[in-house]
Structure formats: structure tokens, C-alpha cells
Structure 1
Amino acid sequence: MRTDAKVVHLKAVPEKPASPAGRLPVALISVRDKAAQQLRQALQVLLDNADDSLFEIADRATSNAEQNAFFEAMRDLRMKRRSIERGFLQQIFESFARLNQYEIGKPAEPENLSFDNLTLVQNDELEESVAIDTMVTKVTSRAALPLTHLTTRMNALVSRKLDDKSNPLGPQALCQYFLESCRSLGVEIKVKLIILKLFERYVLADLDQLYAEANQTLIGAGILPELQSAPPRRSQRHAPAATTGGVSSATYGDSASHAEDVGMHEAFGALQSLLSELRGSALPARSIPSDAIPISSGDLMRLLSHMQARTPQLIDDFDLQGQLEQLLHKVSAKSGKSRVVGEVDEDVINLVSMLFEFILDDRTLPDSLKALIGRLQIPLLKVAVLDKSFFSRGSHPARRLLNEIATAAMGWGDQDEAQRDSLYQKIEQVVARLLNDFVDDPGIFSELLADFLAFTGDERRRSELLEQRTRDAEEGRAKAEMARQEVEQVLNERLLGKTLPEVVVRLLQEAWSKVLLLTCLKHGTQSEQWDAALATMDDLIWSVAPHDDPESRERLLKLVPSLLKALREGLVSAAFDPFSTGEFFTQLEALHVQALQQFDQPSAQPAPVAVPPPSAAITGGRFEPSPSKPASEPPAPAMIEVVEEIMLLAPGESREQEPEINLADNDEALTQVDNLRVGSWVEFQEDEEHKLRCKLAAIIKPTGKYIFVNRTGMKVLEKTRMGLAIEFRRDAIRLLNDTLLFDRALESVIDNLRTLKSSNR
């Protein structure tokens, strides 16, 4: 057990030197340092208690193997706790350092997957993902308000757009930091899940307090003091279970709920005040007869349910407020009294109408899915009438369902009726279920959200696996292409401009190039194997070149056995065609015999010399011509001059170069290309009628290729940097905004209202 003091000096916390902290506002640095200290202390408590927890579980193990796994995990955790602490805090500081950098993103780290371990990896990742989602959901359910307020305040200080997921102190980010810092632990998934549970117990349990204190720090610096959060709660979770005292969980739950309700109504109240200030100027005034009686929210819900049952398939011309006015006229005529919607409910209707105006104009949503999502206007309006936190609580099930549908639809292209796939059908089911079954119980949204997340989770895992295979294949292609270019270079250096026997040129170009390619891919160009393959090629070229000095004859006699052996082994390793190999060696042997014959024919003695037959024996490590009958002079070998550069093309490959375009380094189109991040969704305008939605899956650095995939992870497009710049210059590419749909819509509505307010002053 550790007995270290729990007081930590922040100077010991690692910082990313490349991103100086001075770029952050002072208030944010204070939030970062206080949070880092609290999180580090909580992590130390976790690691202090991990031994006891794992030992207790090991003591209850049902087998020796299971018990040993826990003991090994305990040992591994003790040895690596320093690196875990350091890695966790390092990632927090790096995340804060990036807040004031305009950074589109970075490529996802490729995973080492193989067909043998694919199922195991998928199952382990699924369990890990479920555990993380559960932990994050628990935090957001109890600390949604202070977290949202903290994110809002941080957005007022930094240049990057944050949401609760990307907040460096959000539960999602903290879980990812911890997972990443524990990557070096060689533990099974069962042990990893237990360690994650400890992380939830000792670190995540106090996040509501951390958020509240961070909000107070920013309020003290004058950052959005009008947002009111609940006061920080002091946790007593570290006290022994039998002696834990204080306020009961039920009592705290009631007080926390009350504080949250107050905050939610304040947020809705701020929207109402904006509307009231504009009513009669920028917005139409309420024309209410003097004898008008406002209908109750319950009556409004019944009218909306009546309209919901008659929601048209096409919502382009659907006027919700007009339809509601008609129903109110009928009700008024029937009752004999003028009935109107109450002011609060009318504000809700106006806000939801404005939100859907943005959604139906949003260019990120495919047109065919806009019609489906537009039919959710009445169900979401009913939710907003029932629960005003809909406008301010990011974790609200109805709001999340809308965001998840929009996110899933990001890569969905408009297709014909017959081609509509499972995603479209799933969204249709969600819409139909809400229109048919939702009356006044918002619980249906939680049920549909869970079902939709399960569906999209399965789709996402399948697409990620296919996308990873696509990346692996492209990286393999890039390596092969670079290796072919390397082999081309060494072949051209040795052959271009030379006149050599045709059989040797063919042997090098058709056969030995494959040996070089395989060696380059397996061992690289700095390896002994690569040097040996080049030496064999150089020896072969020398052995068929003309020589007339005695030293060359001696060298050739010594060289030929080892040369033939190296050639044969190399071609066998490259699985070259044995029949062609035999043909090559027969002709090569004849060349060597002829070369030796030329050495043995002095110009002063014209008498013929015995020529070794092709089957001459190799004995004693030396090539010795066997005595035989005088033979006639063999015909001169066919010679060829290499005048064109050798190009090694893969099957179906061509080397057609894109048109050369000279763009300045600071050209806007190149800047747009360089700002693309892996994971960005874009839309290509292929022609007047067809658009292609795809995601940047990888940037292959050796070849400079940008690889795009569709929603299923399948490759659909490949572009160079210059090729993409051309597309940007002709406005054929449009970046798709991947921030949450509802948040964008609400932000747009608030901005519009504030603009109208400023213009009317």
C-alpha cells in the first residue's frame, strides 16, 4: 500500500511544451490546475485501493488460472502506476492546450486487427464501450446542469467549439484519458472492467463537485455569472460503508433535482425574455380578444395530439401555427368563448417552430431525410410543452434522439425508393412510433433512444472494421508503390543506357525485380538482405560484361557457383515460375560458358578450344570446363540496349499524371485541403444532379493520397492534395457540419433573436 502524502505540487504535472499554456485565459488555467490536482488525488486513491479490491476478488476466484490473472494484474498495476498517473495528467494538459488552437483534428490511430483475432477484439471492445457508456450516462444524469454550464463558459473563452463530449473535463474525455493511460496494462477484459469500475467509484463520483467548483472559479472571473448552477456537493464516498453518514441519497436527489429544475427554467426564462422584447417589433404582437380565455397546457396537448395523428407525409407546406389557429377557432365556435394559447405555451411553439425552420434549411441533412425529421415537429413540441428543460439540457432523451438521428444521417446519400437501406427504414420506424404512440408520456423517447443507439452502435462497429481494413489495404498499396519505385530506381541506375544480353535484361526486369520488391517490403532498403540482393544483381551484370584480363577469368570462375546459388534461392523465395526459371538458367549458363571460351582463345593461337557444354559440372566451389570434343563457335547472344526507363506497374495500374497546376503555398484551396481532418464528412458535387457524401478515412503520407469512404466504411474516392485543391477551387466540395443538430439550431435561433434585438434598439 502507498503512504505518500496526498498534497501534490502542480509543478510536477507534465505539460505539453509545444502548446504553451500562456495562450489560455488565466481563469481557464486556474480551472485546469485545480481540476488536475483533484483528479490526480482521486486517481492516487484509486491506485492505493486497487490492490485490496483485486486481492478480494482473487480470493473469491473459482480457479487457479483466474486467481493468477488477478495477481498478475495487481503486480502490473503496481509497476506501472507512475506511468498511468503521468499519462492521465499529460492528456488533460494537452487537451487544455489545444483549446485555443484552430485544429481540425488528427488521424485516428489505426488498430492492429487481423482476421484471426477479429471476433475477440470486437467482443472486448463492445464490453469496454458498454462500460464506458454506462459510466458516462451516470455522470451526465446527475451532473448534467453544472457540466453544461461549464462547457458554455469555456466556449466563451476559447476558439474551439466544445460540447459536453469534447470538454476536457467531461466524463467521456476523462474515461478516454484513463483508458489510454492504461493501454500498457496486459490484463484481460474481465480485469479491465473491474479497474474501470474502480475509476468510476474513486474518480468519476466527485465530478459534480469538480464541475461546481470550476463554475464558481469562472463566475468569480466574470464569465457568464447569470448561469446559476447547484452548489458543490461534498462526497462522503471514501468513508466506510457502515459508518457513512450525512444526507441520504434520496434527500440529496430531491435537492439536486430542485436545483436542476431551477436552472432549466432560468434558461427557458432567458429565451422567453428575448421573445417578449421582440414581440410587437421584430416579431408579430399577440392579438388577443379582450374576452379570450387561455387554454390549459393539457388542452393544448390534446389539440397537438389531434394534429399529430394527421401529420402529412410532406411537410414543406405544413404550417403548424396556422393549423393550430384553425383548431382553436373551431373550439371557440363550439364553446362560444374565444380560446387562445397561453403566453408560455405560445413561446414554446414559437421556439420549436424556429428550431425546425433551421433544421429544414440545414444543408447538412440529406433532403430525403429532412421530410422524415420534419414530421417530428409536433412530438418534440409536445415534449417541450411538458418539460421546459428540453431547451437547455443536452442529455434530454428527446433532444438526444434528434441529434443521434441527424448524426447517423450525416453520410446517408439521397437514393431511390428501391435503394433505401436499413438506416432509412430505422428512422421511419422511430418517426412512425412517435406519431402513433406518443401521447403525453416522454418515457417513449428514452426507449426509442436506447433502441436507436443499439442499432447505430452495431452499424458503427461494422463500418469501423471495414474502414480499418480499407486503411490497412491503402497503406499496403502505398508501401508496395513506394517499394516498386525504389526497385525501379535501382534497376534504371544499373541498366539504363547499357547494352546487355537480352536474357539478362529480362531476368532482372521480370524476375529479379520481384525478389527486390519482396526484400524491400519485408526488410527495407537499409537491411543486409537488400544489400545482398543488390550485390547479386551487380555480380550478374558484371558476369556477362566483356572482360579480357586474367584476373577477371579467375574472379568469374569463383563467382559463378555462388551467383547461381544466390539467384536460384532468390527466385524460389519470390515464388517465381519454375519453368521460366529453368529457361533463364539454361541461357545464363550458356552465356557464362561463352565468356570463359573467349578467355581461352588467345589471338596468337587460332586453334579451337574445348567449349564446356551447358551441363558442365560445378565441383569444388569452382566452375571448371569439362574436357570434350572441340565444338563449333556458339552463336553470339542476342543483345539489347536499354533506352527506356523501366516501370514496374501493379495489375491494372497506370502512371497517368494529373495535370500540373502551380498553386502558391498560401493558396486558399490548399489551405482548405490541409485543414481537412481524418473523420471529416464532405459532399462532392459530381455533376448537376449527383452528389457524393463521404468521409475522409485516411491520408496516406508516402503517396499523398486522400482516401474517402462511405457510411459503411467502403472506399468510394481517392484524391491527391492537388486534386482536392482543384475541387475546392471550383466549389465542388462542401464540408458537412458535424456538430450536434439541435445545438446548432438552438444557437442559430438565439443568435437571430439577439441580432433582431440589437437592430431594434
Structure 2
Amino acid sequence: MHNDGNVVPLHKAATDQANHSPLARLPVILLQVRDKAAQRLRHGLQELFDNADDTLFEMADRARNDIEQNIFFEAMRDLRLKRKNIERGFLEQFFEAFVALIQYDAVQHTLPDSLMFEESATRTDDMERNVAVETMVGRVLKRDGFALDQLTERLNALLGKNIDDQYNPLGPAMLCEYFLQAARNLGVEIKVKLILLKLFERYVLADTEPLYAEANQLLIATGVLPELKPAPARRAIERAAASISSEESDEPAHTDEGVQEVFATLQELLLHVRGSVAPTLEPSVATQPISTRDLLRLLSHLQQYVPVLAAQDDFDLRNQLEQLLTRVSVRSGKSRIVDGADEDVINLIAMVFDCILEDRNLPDSLKALIARLQIPMLKVAVLDKSFFSRSSHPARRLLNEIADAAMGWGDCNSEARDSLYLRIEQVVQRLLSDFVDDPAIFCELLADFLAFTSDERRRSELLEQRLRDAEEGRARTELARQRVEQALNQALLGKALPPSVVTFVHDAWSKVLLLTCLKHGEQSAQWQADVQTMEQLIWSVQRHDEADAGLRLLALVPGLLKSLRDGLSSAAFDPFATSEFFSELEALHVRMLEPSAEQDTADTAALVEVSQHITLRTADEGSGSLNPTGLAHDDAGLRQVDQLRLGSWVAFEEDDEHTLRCKLAAIIETTGKYVFVDRTGMKVRERSRIGLALEFRRGAVRALDDTLLFDRALESVLGNLRRLNRGK
């Protein structure tokens, strides 16, 4: 998002000074607030970029010409290449803003240029961007300004400053500024900039309520202005409704001409399938189209019978409607037919639902429920032709949100139906029983469903984060164990040593080494010192022919004993548990100092040769970086694995009847492990990169397409119609 030189660096003067200040000057609680907020913001940015590709592709698909289409394709490419840098730049500026609080001076601070707007300015790209940002900031302040005010007050009390709301590091103005600065090197057109800003609002700014609530709660817990009255809670459904309303208001005006132009294009494609809905009468009977109002009455009549159908496969909408038209025609004596435009809508919706019900990405156990939505969706499409041209249409969004929530829903019987199934069932039943001709019901149901899924998603995301933390901890421990094991084998293998020393190194000192490796790393001075202590211990209990060996041992022992005791103490070993070993070690050292002849007559049977490889860890799948099967680096299975991203859904085909749907929650880089969870956030599968690639190759696992269901089905239908028309 190039700023054309008008966006100045965030808090430049203050940050330059703050960077030289130790981070320790920030109160610990403020660091906790910062880190918790960073987790939320990082997740929001990841969602933004995960969805940006689909959004830009959709815009490219709707482009009016090749030049405009190329703009969106180039933006997609640029965004993929620079995504990581933008995420990193955003968080770096976010962290710098917290450091800059120490240097904050209200007199020196002015609003960044990127957020300034003058009514007298000419309408340039910068002006459009500024208006968009100002509108976004205004929405957050209107929605969550109370909580932000309280957070600013608490920061002022904590730091003894007088910070303005607009310079609160968590305020919407600053969050927008971080994004603008981080994305300033994107060479994209203003229309793409505005799309990215809208996505930023949807996936980052939309989550400010829990962001501020969590920050305030952390400060309250440490006694920072606990007496302030908390921000009034907003019901989840109200938040969702507000989000829908704001998105609707931001949509460009859909003029009747624009909607009709899109629908006219669709009609041209549908021309060859007309005549599929017609009463069965004598050809000589005069025809008379029924009105749209009468068609809606017929559909409402059919709608009442959908819930009691035994099997959705038996329900053919066009056939059912044709039978009704035949009855009406017999009574009236005229062949009552559907008007051409209405028939086109019927055919298009029927074909879209046929495509939906054949979609392998939708769980079979939910297809019957979604099939019941065919008549309500048909009625709303008859009433409002923008249903086909506007992806944010509430009815269309409701169908897509249901499909998205059902992506991870597994097979179950009637007794095992969970809250998601029941909620979708409620939505379907409400539409079938209450929807007559007022599309407002879709907005209500969409808001309610979004509130439900938002609560579920928040719970699962919390579990997923805990899982990632635990898996990364396991991976670090496993690598540390491997390193300790390597050090032990290097020091012990091939040597003849007293059994007590071998046992001590294996059982006790290995734990000291493991703790040091985890805390400081294998390149640290602490690790080198502990390894050296182990090597000195082993040297001290071996026989040496050098003339000065005794003197070296006398010089070595005091420091060695101290290092051993310090190491055991740092690992919280009970000193009494190791006292017997130190007594025996003392006897061993005394023996080493005896004359050679006496040493030779000592009982050599007490020594044991370490000949077997020492293993400290349990065997597992092993490092994913290995390629034991000899797969080529461009293997199709490996390519499929590498195309997976965090949040991708896959289906493991367990047998002919059972499929496990799960989401990729973590990729542990150090071990190459891929960890999958179910839709509740519980771990269900773990695979290595190679193991997963082999499953892809033999069809035991497949990636699920998580793009918008209705949009995917509509595009497929239109593609089929285009091919059909070309073949005519």
C-alpha cells in the first residue's frame, strides 16, 4: 500500500529515542497487555491475508476488462510475496509504540499524516484512503469508545502520563497507522488499497471489543483503577448485526441498471435450458404466464411440505412446481406457465443446489439440511435479483456461513447431533415456517448465526493456541533430548568406567544438561560448561599414564565437585539423594591417586564398558525433515502438503464409511510435525511431512476447499452453461 510520500513514520522522534531505552523500563503488566494483544492482532492479520486472495480473485473474476483483471491478479501476487513482511512490520511498529509510551510528550505529538483529512483537499487517492480510514476509526470509536477511554485512563494512571486516546497503542487510529506503514511498499492501485483496508476492518478492527476487554481486565487484576465502571457488555448477536449493517452500508450502491445488467447476462446463458418447468397439457391449450406474486404463493405452499419429506433425493423442485402448475392449469382451463425471467431464476437456483449437494467438501450428514434451503433461497432470488451479483447479500452469506461452520462437522447419528447441527436445523426450520416475502428475516438469522459461530470459534481458537504452545514445547524438549543424548554418547561410548559414574551421568547429569539446553541453548556458555563438567568427571575416574595425571586430578577435583553440586542444585536435585554418589566418587579419586602398582591390583571387575548407544527418549515418528522413502522434492504428495496453510481443512478417509474432517492447527518447524484438530480445537491427528505426503498420494487424505460454497457452486454452474452454449 504505497503512501506516495504522505505517510510519515510512526512516532519517529519518540521511537528513535525509545529504541535506545531498555525494554525493562516498561512495567511488567504493560508487557503482558502488549503480548496478549499481539496474539489477537497477529491472528486477525493472518485471517486478513488468508481471505485477501479469495476476495481479490473474486474481484478479478468480476473485472470489466483485461486491464482491470490484471490489476487484481498482480495485487494477489504482490500480497503473497510481501505478506510476511507486512505482518512483521505491523507487529514491530506495535511493539515500538509501547516502548514510545515512556518517551510520550503530548505537546510534540500530532496525528500522523496518513490519518489527517481536510475537506478542502482535492479528491486524490490519498484523500480516498484517508476518508476510508477515518470512517473505520469512527466506527470503532462509536462501538467500543467507552472501553478504549477506560484503557487510556488506566495507561495514564500506570505511567503517570496524559496520553490521548488517538495515541493509545491499541486505539483504532494507531492500528490503522501500523497497517498503512507496514504495507506502504505494496505497489497496488487505490481500489486494491481500499479493499485491503476493508479487510483490515473486517478481520482486525472488528475484534476490538475483546481486545480492549482483555487489556482492561489485566490492568484491573493488578490494581490499576479497578473502581472504573466496566464498559457495558454488548450481546454477541448485536455485535454481529452491527457488523452486517456496517458492511451493507459500505457496499457500493447497487443500481437497478447494474443488477439488471448482470441478470441479463445470466439469462443469455440460461436461454437453452428454458421450458423445463411447464404444465402437462394439450399443446393446443392457450398459455398464460403467472405473476411473480402467484409464483411466490406456490413456492410458499411447497415450502410447508419440505420438512416432512423422507428423503431430499426424492424432492425435485422443478418437478413439484410443474405438478402444481398442472393442477392450476386444469382448474383455470389455461396453460399457466412461469414467466421467462422467473423460470431462469428457478433453473439457476436448482442447478446451483444440484452442484452444492454433489460437493465433496460439504459433509454428507448436513446436505439434507442444506437442501431444505432451496425454496427459501429461490424465493429471495425471485424477489431480489442482486442475490446473484452481490456476494454480501444476507441470504447468500447465511448459506455460506452455514457451510463454513459445517466444514469440520463429522458424521454422526441422530443421538450424537451436537449444538452446531441443532443450530443449523433451527435456522432452516425458521425459514421454512416464517419466511413469506420479507427478506429481513435473513439479516436476523445471519446475525444470530454469526454470534453463535463467533463464540464457538473463540473457544476453539483458545484451545488451538494452547495446543500450539504445548506442541512447540514438546518439540523443543525432544530436540534438547536428542542433543543431550548425542553429548552423552560422545562422552561415554567405548570407555570403561565405574558403574556408579555411568548411572550418575545417565540418570542425573543428563537432566542437568537437558534443563540447560532448554533454558540457554546448545550454543550457550552454560551448555559448554556443563558438558565440560561431564567430560572432567569421566576423565577423573579413568587411569592415565601421564606423569602429571595425579597433580592434574588434585587441581581438578575441588572445582569439579563444586560444578557438579551447582548443576544438581540448579536442576532441583535432592542433595541427600546424591550424597552416596559423592562419597563413592571421593573413594574413586583416592584410588586414582594411589601408586600404579596398587591401582593395577585393584578390582578391575568393578569397571563396565559402555558399548551400547544411550537412548533417553521414546521412539516416535522421527524428524519430518528426513526423507526415508526417497520421495522426490517435487513429488505430487509433497506439493499438496506444502500447499497447506494454518487453518486448512482436510479429510482423512478412515474407511469406506467414515471420514475424519480436521483443521491444520500447527506446523512444528523444528520437527516437521503437522498437528490437526477437530472443529472444537481438540487434537485428533499428528503427521510428519513425509507421512502426510504418502497419505495424499494414496488418497487416504484430501484437502477440502474452504472457499464460499454458494459462490463456488454458482461459478461451476456458469462454467457448465458457457460450455453448453459454446457447443450449440
Is the TM value for this pair above 0.5? yes
- Residue range with higher mean Cα deviation, 499-508 or 262-271: 262-271
Counterpart in 2 of 1:199?
none
Tell me which of 327, 330, 343 is aligned to 2:327: 330
Distance in 2 (CA, whole Å) between partners of 1:655 and 1:406 is: 37
Distance in 2 (CA, whole Å) between partners of 1:82 and 1:374 is: 45
Do the aligned partners of 2:394 and 2:442 also contact (CA within 8 Å) in 1?
Answer: yes
CA offsets, 1:352-371, max 9 Å, x none?
A: 10110101111100111001
Overall identity of the aligned pairs, in %: 53
1:550-699 equivalences in 2 (<5 Å)? 551-576=548-573, 580-598=577-595, 635-636=603-604, 638-650=606-618, 660-699=628-667
Distance in 2 (CA, whole Å) between partners of 1:75 and 1:387 is: 42
Structure 2 residue 441 is the aligned partner of structure 1 residue 350: no
- Residue range with higher mean Cα deviation, 87-96 or 460-469: 87-96
Counterpart in 1 of 2:83?
none
Counterpart in 1 of 2:261?
266
Deviation at 1:170, TM superposition (A): 5.5
Deviation at 1:533, TM superposition (A): 0.8
Structure 2 residue 330 is the aligned partner of structure 1 residue 303: no
Whichever residue aligns with residue 640 of structure 2, its letter is Q
Whichever residue aligns with residue 180 of structure 2, its letter is L
Deviation at 1:688, TM superposition (A): 2.5
Do the aligned partners of 1:352 and 1:377 also contact (CA within 8 Å) in 2?
Answer: yes
1:599–1:572 distance in 2 versus 1, CA, 3 Å: farther
Counterpart in 1 of 2:356?
359
- Residue range with higher mean Cα deviation, 329-338 or 297-306: 329-338
1:35–1:669 distance in 2 versus 1, CA, 3 Å: farther
- Say how many residue pairs are matched: 591
Structure whose CA Rg is larger: 1
Do the aligned partners of 2:351 and 2:717 also contact (CA within 8 Å) in 1?
Answer: yes
Tell me which of 170, 173, 179 is aligned to 1:88: 179
Do the aligned partners of 1:462 and 1:712 also contact (CA within 8 Å) in 2?
Answer: yes
SS in 1 for 2:684: strand
Do the aligned partners of 2:409 and 2:661 also contact (CA within 8 Å) in 1?
Answer: yes
CA offsets, 1:93-147, max 9 Å, x none?
A: 66667x9xxxxxxxxxxxxxxxxxxxxxxxxxxxxxxxxxxxxxxxxxxxxxxx9
Deviation at 1:382, TM superposition (A): 1.3
Question: What is the root-mean-square deviation in Å for CA atoms of aligned residues?
Answer: 4.7
SS in 2 for 1:677: coil
1:101-180 equivalences in 2 (<5 Å)? 168-169=195-196, 171-173=198-200
Distance in 2 (CA, whole Å) between partners of 1:209 and 1:353 is: 30
Distance in 2 (CA, whole Å) between partners of 1:436 and 1:310 is: 10
Deviation at 1:88, TM superposition (A): 2.7
1:656–1:602 distance in 2 versus 1, CA, 3 Å: closer
Deviation at 1:346, TM superposition (A): 1.3
Distance in 2 (CA, whole Å) between partners of 1:490 and 1:715 is: 33
1:358-507 equivalences in 2 (<5 Å)? 358-507=355-504
Whichever residue aligns with residue 534 of structure 1, its letter is V
Counterpart in 1 of 2:694?
726
What is the TM-score with the length of structure 1 in the denominator? 0.68
Distance in 2 (CA, whole Å) between partners of 1:344 and 1:724 is: 49
Do the aligned partners of 1:500 and 1:545 also contact (CA within 8 Å) in 2?
Answer: yes
1:602–1:718 distance in 2 versus 1, CA, 3 Å: closer
Distance in 2 (CA, whole Å) between partners of 1:737 and 1:64 is: 46
Do the aligned partners of 1:467 and 1:697 also contact (CA within 8 Å) in 2?
Answer: yes
Distance in 2 (CA, whole Å) between partners of 1:384 and 1:177 is: 32
1:455–1:83 distance in 2 versus 1, CA, 3 Å: closer
CA offsets, 1:450-469, max 9 Å, x none?
A: 11111111110111111111
Distance in 1 (CA, whole Å) between partners of 2:277 and 2:206 is: 54
CA offsets, 1:167-209, max 9 Å, x none?
A: 843512356588999xx9999569xx99xxxxxxxxxx99999
Tell me which of 126, 133, 158 is aligned to 1:37: 126
1:94–1:372 distance in 2 versus 1, CA, 3 Å: farther
Deviation at 1:512, TM superposition (A): 0.4
Gaps spanning 5+ residues in structure 1: where? Answer: 1-6, 15-23, 100-146, 155-165, 195-204, 212-229, 231-255, 604-632
SS in 2 for 1:72: coil
1:330–1:86 distance in 2 versus 1, CA, 3 Å: closer
1:732–1:94 distance in 2 versus 1, CA, 3 Å: farther
1:581–1:588 distance in 2 versus 1, CA, 3 Å: same
Whichever residue aligns with residue 719 of structure 1, its letter is R
1:649–1:349 distance in 2 versus 1, CA, 3 Å: same
1:8–1:688 distance in 2 versus 1, CA, 3 Å: closer
Do the aligned partners of 1:499 and 1:640 also contact (CA within 8 Å) in 2?
Answer: yes
Distance in 2 (CA, whole Å) between partners of 1:173 and 1:457 is: 18
Distance in 2 (CA, whole Å) between partners of 1:63 and 1:679 is: 34
CA offsets, 1:335-376, max 9 Å, x none?
A: 343322222221111111011010111110011100110011
What is the TM-score with the length of structure 2 in the denominator? 0.70
SS in 2 for 1:679: coil
Whichever residue aligns with residue 636 of structure 2, its letter is E
